[in-house]
Structure 1
Amino acid sequence: MYLLIILIPLISTCVIIFFGRFLGKFGVSIFICVWMFICSFFSWLGLFEIGFFGSINYFKSVNWISSYMLNVCWGFLFDSVSIVIIVIVTTISSLVYLYSTSYMKYDPHIIRFLTYLMAFSFFMIVLVSSNNLVQLFVGWEGVGLVSYLLINFWFTRLNANQAAIKALLVNRIGDFSLLLGIFTIFYIFQSVDYSIIFSIVPYMDSQNFLFFQKKLNGLNLIAILLFIGACSKSAQFGLHTWLKDAMEGPTPVSALLHSSTMVLAGVYLILRFSPFLEFAPKGLFIITFFGAITCIYAATSGIFQNDIKKIIAYSTCSQLGYMVLACGISNYNVAIYHLFNHSWFKALLFLCAGSVIHALGNEQDLRKMGSLIQLLPFTYSMMLIGTFALIGFPFLTGFYSKDFIIELVLILKYSLAENYDKSFAYWFSCFAVFCTSFYSFKLLFFTFINKSNSSRIKIKNVHEGSFFLKAPLFILSVCSIFFGFLFKDLFIGIGSNFWGLSLFMLPNYLNWIEAEENLILSLKLVPLTLTILGFFLIFCTNFLVVNFIISIKLFKINRWVITFFTKQWYFDQIYNFLVIFLLNIGYKVTFKIIDRGFLEIFGPEGLLRSIPKWAYTFCNFQLGYFIHYIFIIIFSIVLFSLINFLKIFLFTHSFLIWKIILLFLLSFISLYTL
C-alpha cells in the first residue's frame, strides 16, 4: 500500500507523457483524477494505520550511492509526520485535479498542465517520505523544478517568465544553504540516514567548527543552514519575495503549490529535524524571530493589495509564519496541527478566487469587482467559510490551531525566564491577527458586497461553474469546518501518543497544558477581540466614514506609510538595487579592471605582446659600440650594489619586498612599452 502511494503518481506521469496524445484531454482528465483519488484513499488508510496502531513503516528498496563512508539507498519512511503531509498532498491534489479539468477545459495545453501537476505530486511525496537527506534533496529539487514549469505554464506572458525565474533564483539561495547543511551533517555524523543521525544528536552537542578563528557550535550551524533552506520554500522573511509573483500561474497552481503543499516543504524540514533544533537554542531563537516578523510583514503587506490572488498569497505567508513561530518555541505538534488545518481552508480560498476569476473572464483586480453575492451565491458561501476559518472564528478549523499558538507564546512569556526575550513574538502575532481580519473582510466586501465596478459585458456573462468546480469547494468547506475539531485531540490532545518518536521535544518546553488550563479567559479572548476590531475597522472604512479615510490619506506622512506597505516594505526595490550594484561591480571591477586589465596585461597575453617589443628594443642596443656595453655593465653593477646595500640595513626577509617592487617596476615599464 505504501509503495503504491509512491508509484501511482510516478507511473501516471510516465503514462501521460508517452500516451497522453492518444488518450486525449477527456481521457487524461479521467485517468489522472481516478488514480489520484485512489492514491488519496491509500494515504488515508495509512494515516489510520500509523495514527491509531503506531505501525511505522521503514523500508529500503535498492542501493543508490556507495562510496567509502557514504552509503545511500532508495528508502522510505512512513511515520506520523510524513503520512500527515502525504494525506494533505494527495487529498488536495485530487481535488485540484478535479477542479482543473473544468477550469482549464478550454486551454489547448491542458495535458501538459496535468502532467506537471502529477509530477509535482510525485516529487512532493518523495520529499516527505524519504529516509535520508540525499533523497530528500532529490524531492526538494524536483518540487522546485515543477514549480518553475507551472508558474511559467503560460510562457508567452512576460510576467509569468519573470515570476518563474524569480522563484527559481530565490529558491537557489535556500537550496545552496540546504546543501551546506547536508554537507555539515555528513561531516559531523558520517551519515545522511535519519535513523543514524537522530539517534546520536545528543552526543554531538559539544561538536564545534573553527571558522575564521571563531568556534561555532555544530548543531546551531546545522539548524541555521537548514532554516535558511526552509525560508526559501516556505517564503519566510527575506526570501519571501517570490511567493506573490508566483500567482502569475493558473489558479489551480496557486491552490496546490503555493498554499497547501510546496510551501509546506520548508515547515516539514524544520519538523523533521526537531532533534537538531532542540539542542540548538540559538537556532530556535532565530526561527522564532523570523516566524514572528513574517507574520507581521505579510499581514501588513496584504492589507494594501488589490489583486485577489496576491491577498490570499500574503495570508499564506503570514500563516506559514505562525507555523515557523510554533516550531521556534518547540511546539512542533502544534505547528503541524496548524499546517494540517491551514491547508484545507487556504486551498478553499484559492479555488474560490479561481471561481470568481473564471466567472469574470480572468479579472483579478478587486477594484473591478463587486455585487457578486447575488450572481455567485455558492462561491460566496464557500469563500465566507474559508475566510472565517482563516481569521480564527470560534469553532472553525483555524480557531483551534492559530489561537493556540498565540496562547503558547503568551504562556512562554510568563513561565520561563530564560525565554523572556521571545515575548516580542506575542505582540507581533496579535497584530497579525488584526491585519488578517482586516484584509480578509476587505476581500469579501470588495468582491461580493460593494457596488459593482465591472463592465456590463462581464456582468452579463457571470455564472457559477460546473459541478467539477463546485464539488472540490464543497468538500474543502466541510474540511475547513470540522477537521480542526475532529483532529485536535489526536494531534495536540493531552496524553495523545500520535506523534510517537517522529517529533522530539525537550520536557522544559512542554507548556501546552499551562496554555490550556492556566490562562485566564480574558487573555484567551484577545485574538477574537482583535479579529472583531479588524472587522469593525474595515466595515467603517468601507461603509460609514469613507470620505474621512480618503482625507487622512492626503497627509504626506500617511502617504509615506501607505506607500511603504503598498510596496511590500520596498523589498523588491532593495533587492533590485543590490543585484544591479553587484552586477556593476562584476562588470566594471572584476571584468574590466581585474580580468581584462590586470590578468591580461600581467598574464599570458601581456607577455605575448610585450616580449616581441622587448626583444626588438634589446636588438636596437646591439649597435656594435663599445661604450654602450660599458654603460650597461656599469649600470647593472650600481643597481645590484644598491640593492645589496639596502638589504644590509633592512630586515633580512624584506629583500622579497624589493624583488616585488622591482617586478612591478619592470611590469609598468612593460606596460608603457605596449
Structure 2
Amino acid sequence: MESYSQIAWLIPLFPLVAFLVLMAFGRQWRELGPYVGIIATLASFILSLLVWIERLGDKADNYTWNALEWLKVGDVSIRMGFEINNLNALMLVIVSLVSLLVNVYSKGYMHGDDRITVFFGYVSLFTFAMLGVVISENLLELYIFWELVGLGSFLLIGFWYHKPEARAAAKKAFIMTRIGDLGLLIAILLLFWYIPSHSLDFTSIHNALSEQLIPDHIVTWVAILIFIGAIGKSGQFPLHTWLPDAMEGPTPISALIHAATMVAAGVYLVARTFDIFQASAVAMDVVAYVGAFTAILAATIGVAQNDIKRILAYSTVSQLGYMMLALGISSTITAGMFHLFTHAFFKALLFLGAGSIIHAVHTQNIHEMGGLAKKMKITTWTFAIGTLALSGIPPFSGFWSKDAILYEAYHGEHWGLFAIGLIAAFFTAFYMARLFFLVFLGKPRGTSEAHESPSVMTVPLVILAILALGAGFVQTPFNGWFGEWLTGTETAEHEGAGLVMIVSTIAGLLGIYLGYMMYLNNRISREIISGPAPWLHKLVQNKYYLDELYSAIIVKPLKALGSMLILFDEFIVDGIVRLSAAAVGGVGKVGSRVQNGQVQTYGLLTLLGLLILALALVGRRFI
C-alpha cells in the first residue's frame, strides 16, 4: 500500500488545476469560481494533514522521488521530483491551512468584485507555487517555484491595477525581490560548479559539506548569497521596503503573503539549507545580526504608523527578523520554525481581522475608528487574542515561540541580541495596544454604521483564534515535543528559562500598560515623544526616510543614466540607422533617375564615364 508521502505531489497539483480551470472558464463561472478555489485548497489541506499525521510516527523515513530527468548535458543529469520530511510536512500543513481559510474568507470579502474569478485564480496559482517551493527536491526546482511565487505576488498585490498605488506597489515588490533572487541564483551556480557531481539535491549538498568538498570561503559566500534571496522574500533590511507597500492589494492577500506563504519562504529557505549556514560562523552571524536589526527597526516604525494594515505589515517585518535572529544563533532550526509556526496563525488572524474592520468602516486609518467592540464582538475578541499572541503574553502561542528565541539568545550569551529582542518585544506590545485601544475601545469616530462581518468571514477568524491561543503548547520549556519531532534531537534542559519567561512577559505587559495609559486612560500625553522631540517622531513616522534615501541614491541616478542612454540611443544609434537608411534611399533615388530608359541619358552617362576613365589614366601616368 502506498504511503501518503508517495502521493504528496498531488498537494500542489490541486490548486494548479483550479488556476487553469478558473482562467479558462472564469467568466462563465462567476458564482462557482470561489468554490473551485476553496475545494482545491481543501483537497490540498486534507492530503497535507494526512502526510503530517503519517510523519508523527516514530522516526518516519524521509521520502524522495526524483525519477523525472528534466535536462541532460553530457554526463550531467538534472532531475525533478519531490521530497517529504518533517520540516516540509509541517510547512505543507501551515501553507494549505492558511490558504484555505483565506479562500473561505475571500468569498465574503471579495463578494461583488467584477474580477472575483480572476482573484481566486491568482490565489490558486500563488498557493501552487508556494507548495511547490515546500516540496522541491533540489535547489534548482525550488528556484523555479520561488520565481513563480514572485509572479503570483505581483499579480495579487497589483490586483486592483486601476489604482496607481497598487500598480506601483506590485512593481516595487517584484523588482526588490528580484534583487534578492539574483543572490540565490548565484549561490545555486556556485554549488553546481563546486559539487563534483553537479547535483543540486539537498542530500548531495549535505554530503558535499560533510566531506568538505567545497572550500570554506565558498561555503560562506554561498550561505550569504542564499540569505540575500531570503532577505528579498522575507522583507529583511535593506530589502524590506516593498513589504509594507504590498498592503495596496486586497486584505486577504495581505494575510496570505504576510502570514504563511511568501514572507515565510525566506525563513523556510534558510531552514531548508541550514547545513550550509552551520558550516560558516560568519554566515550565521550575518543572519543573526541582520535579523535583530530588522526586528528593532520595523518595531519602532510600527509605533508611529496610522494605517492599520501598515502597522501589521511592519509587525510582520519585525517578527520575521525574530525568526532570522533565532536561526542565526541556534544550533537547530527549532526556535525559528516554531515562531514561524505560531506567527502564521496569529498574523493571519490579525490581517483577516483588519479586513473585517475595513469591511465595516471603509477606512484604514486607526484614528478614524473607535468603539467597535460593541458592534463587532466576534472580530473584537478574536483580534484581542491575536494581539496578545503577537505581544508575547502568556499563555498565548506567540509567548512560547518568542520566549524560545529569547532563551536561545540568553543561553548562548548573546547579550546584545537578547536586549534587542526584549526592546523589540516591548515596542511590539505597545503599538498593538495602541491599535487595539484606538480601534475597539476608544471613542467612536465615524463608525455609527459599523456591523459585524458575515459568518463566511468570522468563522475563519474563530478557527485562527483557537490556533493562536493553543498552538504554542507544542513547544514549551516543559514540553520539547515540537523540536524533537522536527529535528530528531532531544531537547536539552532549559536552565534559566524561568527568568527569561518572566523578563519577556514584563516587557510585553509594560508595552500594553503604556499603550493603555496613553490611548485609553489618557493619563500620559500622546505627545510625550513628539512634543519635546518632534524630529524623532517625524523620523520614525516617515520610516527613517529609507524610501527617500533609496530614491536619491539608486532610483534617481538610474533614471538619469536611463535618460542619457535614451539620448544616446535616439541620436547616436538611431542616428546611424537613419543615416544609413537615408544614404541607401538616396542611392536608390539617383539610380532610379539614371535608369529611366532614355537614350540621351545613357549616352551622357557613357560620355561621363569615358571622361572619368580618361582623367584617371592621365592622372596615373603623371603620378
Residues 227, 494 of structure 1: alpha-carbon distance in 2 compared, 3 angstrom cutoff: closer
CA–CA distance in structure 2, aligned partners of residues 547 and 285 of structure 1: 40
Give how far 1:492 is off.
Answer: 4.2
Q: Using the aligned pairs only, state the percent identity.
A: 35
Pick the aligned partner of 1:583 from 545, 558, 561. 558
Alignment of 1:452-601 (within 5 A): 452-454=444-446, 458-460=447-449, 462-486=450-474, 492-493=480-481, 496-500=484-488, 513=492, 516-519=494-497, 521-545=498-522, 548-550=525-527, 553-555=530-532, 558-583=533-558, 586-587=561-562
Residues 186, 491 of structure 1: alpha-carbon distance in 2 compared, 3 angstrom cutoff: farther
Residues 283, 595 of structure 1: alpha-carbon distance in 2 compared, 3 angstrom cutoff: farther
Letter in 2 for 1:550: E
Asked if the contact 2:45–2:100 (Cα under 8 Å) also holds between the matched residues in 1, the reply is yes
Give how far 1:206 is off.
Answer: 6.0
Cα deviation, 1:402-454, whole Å, max 9, x if unaligned, reads: 111101101111xxxxxxxx432111111100000000111101111111221
Letter in 2 for 1:459: S
Alignment of 1:644-655 (within 5 A): none
Give how far 1:522 is off.
Answer: 3.7
Alignment of 1:261-276 (within 5 A): 261-276=261-276
CA–CA distance in structure 1, aligned partners of residues 280 and 357 of structure 2: 46
Alignment of 1:307-326 (within 5 A): 307-326=307-326
Give how far 1:549 is off.
Answer: 3.8
Residues 32, 59 of structure 1: alpha-carbon distance in 2 compared, 3 angstrom cutoff: same
CA–CA distance in structure 2, aligned partners of residues 8 and 569 of structure 1: 43
Residues 204, 589 of structure 1: alpha-carbon distance in 2 compared, 3 angstrom cutoff: farther
Give how far 1:595 is off.
Answer: 10
Q: Residue in 2 aligned with 1:30?
A: 35
Q: Residue in 1 aligned with 2:337?
A: 336
Secondary structure of the 2:64 match is strand
Letter in 2 for 1:11: V
Of 77-86 and 544-553, more deviation after overlay is shown by 544-553
Q: Residue in 2 aligned with 1:47?
A: 52
Alignment of 1:170-185 (within 5 A): 170-185=176-191
Residues 368, 559 of structure 1: alpha-carbon distance in 2 compared, 3 angstrom cutoff: same
Asked if the contact 2:294–2:317 (Cα under 8 Å) also holds between the matched residues in 1, the reply is yes
CA–CA distance in structure 1, aligned partners of residues 28 and 37 of structure 2: 14
Pick the aligned partner of 1:198 from 206, 213, 219. 206
Cα deviation, 1:233-272, whole Å, max 9, x if unaligned, reads: 0000100000100000001100111222110000011001
Of 28-37 and 297-306, more deviation after overlay is shown by 28-37
Pick the aligned partner of 1:152 from 138, 148, 158. 158
Asked if the contact 1:151–1:248 (Cα under 8 Å) also holds between the matched residues in 2, the reply is yes
Residues 531, 19 of structure 1: alpha-carbon distance in 2 compared, 3 angstrom cutoff: same
Asked if the contact 1:51–1:498 (Cα under 8 Å) also holds between the matched residues in 2, the reply is no
Secondary structure of the 1:52 match is coil
Give how far 1:459 is off.
Answer: 1.7
CA–CA distance in structure 2, aligned partners of residues 550 and 254 of structure 1: 31
CA–CA distance in structure 1, aligned partners of residues 207 and 199 of structure 2: 12
Alignment of 1:598-609 (within 5 A): none
CA–CA distance in structure 1, aligned partners of residues 465 and 175 of structure 2: 35
Alignment of 1:89-128 (within 5 A): 89-128=95-134
Q: Residue in 1 aligned with 2:592?
A: none
CA–CA distance in structure 1, aligned partners of residues 36 and 566 of structure 2: 54
Secondary structure of the 1:496 match is helix
TM-score (norm 2): 0.87
Cα deviation, 1:32-55, whole Å, max 9, x if unaligned, reads: 222321221111111111232414
Q: Residue in 1 aligned with 2:87?
A: 81
Letter in 1 for 2:267: V
Asked if the contact 2:12–2:127 (Cα under 8 Å) also holds between the matched residues in 1, the reply is no
Q: Residue in 2 aligned with 1:142?
A: 148
CA–CA distance in structure 1, aligned partners of residues 121 and 165 of structure 2: 23
CA–CA distance in structure 2, aligned partners of residues 7 and 339 of structure 1: 25
Asked if the contact 2:233–2:266 (Cα under 8 Å) also holds between the matched residues in 1, the reply is yes
TM-score (norm 1): 0.81
Residues 74, 564 of structure 1: alpha-carbon distance in 2 compared, 3 angstrom cutoff: same
CA–CA distance in structure 1, aligned partners of residues 9 and 372 of structure 2: 46
Residues 528, 263 of structure 1: alpha-carbon distance in 2 compared, 3 angstrom cutoff: same
Asked if the contact 1:437–1:534 (Cα under 8 Å) also holds between the matched residues in 2, the reply is yes
RMSD of aligned C-alpha atoms? 3.0
Give how far 1:395 is off.
Answer: 1.6
Asked if the contact 1:490–1:498 (Cα under 8 Å) also holds between the matched residues in 2, the reply is no
Asked if the contact 2:425–2:504 (Cα under 8 Å) also holds between the matched residues in 1, the reply is yes
Give how far 1:518 is off.
Answer: 3.8
Cα deviation, 1:507-527, whole Å, max 9, x if unaligned, reads: xxx9x635x2245x4443111
Asked if the contact 2:517–2:524 (Cα under 8 Å) also holds between the matched residues in 1, the reply is no
Pick the aligned partner of 1:438 from 430, 442, 446. 430
Unpaired runs of at least 5, structure 1: 209-216, 414-421, 502-509, 609-621, 623-628, 630-674
Q: Residue in 2 aligned with 1:653?
A: none
Give how far 1:346 is off.
Answer: 0.5
Asked if the contact 1:163–1:246 (Cα under 8 Å) also holds between the matched residues in 2, the reply is yes
Give how far 1:174 is off.
Answer: 0.7
Residues 534, 592 of structure 1: alpha-carbon distance in 2 compared, 3 angstrom cutoff: same
Secondary structure of the 2:244 match is helix
Asked if the contact 1:337–1:492 (Cα under 8 Å) also holds between the matched residues in 2, the reply is no
Letter in 2 for 1:292: A
Corresponding position: 1:357 with 2:358? yes
Give how far 1:30 is off.
Answer: 2.2
Instruction: Figure out how many residues of one structure are paired with residues of the other and give that number.
Output: 579
Q: Residue in 1 aligned with 2:10?
A: 4
Secondary structure of the 2:82 match is strand
Corresponding position: 1:207 with 2:208? no
Letter in 1 for 2:62: I
Residues 498, 599 of structure 1: alpha-carbon distance in 2 compared, 3 angstrom cutoff: same
Asked if the contact 1:494–1:513 (Cα under 8 Å) also holds between the matched residues in 2, the reply is no
Asked if the contact 1:72–1:132 (Cα under 8 Å) also holds between the matched residues in 2, the reply is no
Give how far 1:229 is off.
Answer: 0.4
Give how far 1:494 is off.
Answer: 9.0
Letter in 2 for 1:517: E
